[in-house]
Chain A
Amino acid sequence: DIQMTQSPSSLSASVGDRITITCRASQGINNYLAWYQQKPGKVPKVLIYAASTLQSGVPSRFSGSGSGTDFTLTISSLQPEDVATYYCQKYNSAPWTFGQGTKVEIK
């Protein structure tokens, strides 16, 4: 099975900072990669699919890139409401594996 590895596991940054989260697949997955945001006590919400397509309604400060095995989620200007845990996920075939998550906090 393909494993999904995120880094870092947590980060703390200031409001307005640009942050990047990395997700690596153990084998190539083309662009079958989604990013989810889960705020404390809430249900996960899809931010990006097909590695770089922004879900409707998601602020444009979020962006995704990558293909094959290496992917990134970038928040161009971190806002207080972005405090959450972010997960990558491979899809298109079983298992629909999630990364272990990256917890983002405000410094």
Chain B
Amino acid sequence: QVQLVESGGGVVQPGRSLRLSCAASGFTFSIFGMHWVRQAPGKGLEWVAAISYDGSNEDYADSVKGRFTISRDNSKNTLYVQLNSLRAEDTAVYYCAKEIVSSSWFHDWGQGTLVTVSS
């Protein structure tokens, strides 16, 4: 069965960087588009970034454009997001999510990893 396991979260100071990973298993990772979605404490879901199955296309929410970079390593079945210039408002649980077909809704989600930006 599909498994998505995020890691790399933690407490980080404002302005610093963090890289999150999402290890995928149970499906052919290299043929599915992938996304990052975040949820601030007590708030709703916010789409963050997307990457195509082969890594050739990336999209970002305006709130993170220029600061976050999504990437993937299909040889390692792993999705990444590099979080730079972190702000207090980036504090959230970060989920990776898998499409079911190209540009589709999110059929599978990881359990999330918490990023706390605080001095």
* Selected contact of A49 from candidates B60, B95, B105, B111, CB within 8 Å: B105
B20-48, CB under 8 A of A: which get 1 and which 0? Answer: 00000000000000010100000011110
B103 & A91 in contact (Cβ 8 Å cutoff)? yes
- Interface SS of chain B: strand
A79-107, CB under 8 A of B: which get 1 and which 0? Answer: 00000010101011111111111000000
A43 & B44 in contact (Cβ 8 Å cutoff)? no
In chain B, positions 74-119 with a C-beta closer than 8 Å to chain A are 95, 103-107, 109-112
Query: In the complex where A43-B95, A43-B110 touch, is A95 in contact with B59 (Cβ < 8 A)?
Result: yes
B50 cross-chain contacts in A, Cβ below 8 A: 94, 96
A36 cross-chain contacts in B, Cβ below 8 A: 45, 106
Most buried by B among A49, A85, A96, A99: A96
B111 & A34 in contact (Cβ 8 Å cutoff)? no
Q: Please measure, in the bound complex, the distance between the C-alpha atom of A2 and the C-alpha atom of B37, giving whole angstroms.
A: 17
- State which size class the interface on A falls in: 20 to 34
Most buried by A among B45, B50, B59, B112: B45
A101 & B111 in contact (Cβ 8 Å cutoff)? no
Query: In the complex where A87-B45, A98-B46 touch, is A44 in contact with B105 (Cβ < 8 A)?
Result: no
A91 & B44 in contact (Cβ 8 Å cutoff)? no
In chain A, positions 42-83 with a C-beta closer than 8 Å to chain B are 43-46, 49
B103 & A93 in contact (Cβ 8 Å cutoff)? yes
Query: In the complex where A98-B45, A98-B46, A101-B45 touch, is A91 in contact with B59 (Cβ < 8 A)?
Result: no
A92 & B107 in contact (Cβ 8 Å cutoff)? no
CB closest chain-A residue, reference B97: A44
A98 & B47 in contact (Cβ 8 Å cutoff)? yes
Query: In the complex where A43-B111, A43-B112 touch, is A95 in contact with B106 (Cβ < 8 A)?
Result: no
B62 & A91 in contact (Cβ 8 Å cutoff)? no
> What are 22 A-to-B residue pairs whose CB atoms are below 8 Å?
A1-B62, A34-B106, A36-B106, A43-B111, A43-B112, A44-B45, A44-B106, A49-B104, A87-B45, A91-B104, A91-B105, A92-B103, A93-B103, A94-B60, A95-B47, A95-B62, A96-B35, A96-B50, A96-B106, A98-B37, A98-B45, A100-B44
